[in-house]
Amino acid sequence: MTWTCKKTQLFIDDYLEGKLPVRDRFAYEAHVETCPGCREYFDRTSAFIQVVHQMGAITRSPHQIPQKVLDEAARLPIERQLLLGEIVSRDLEEEHQRLERMGKAQKKTNPAKPN
**Residues in contact with Zn ion by the rule CB under 5 A:** 5, 35, 38
Q: How far is the CB of 36 from Zn ion (least distance, A)?
A: 8
Q: How far is the CB of 53 from Zn ion (least distance, A)?
A: 24
Cα(36)–Cα(77) distance, integer angstroms:
17
Q: Which is nearer to Zn ion, 37 or 103 (CB)?
A: 37
Q: How far is the CB of 41 from Zn ion (least distance, A)?
A: 8
Q: Which is nearer to Zn ion, 40 or 94 (CB)?
A: 40
Does an H or E element contain 64, and which? none
Q: Which is nearer to Zn ion, 38 or 84 (CB)?
A: 38
77 dihedral zone (left: phi>0; alpha: psi -120 to 50; beta): beta
E strands in 35-115:
none
Residue 111 gets which letter from DSSP? T
Q: How far is the CB of 104 from Zn ion (least distance, A)?
A: 46
Q: Which is nearer to Zn ion, 51 or 73 (CB)?
A: 73
Helix then strand then coil, % of the chain, to nearest 5: 75, 0, 25
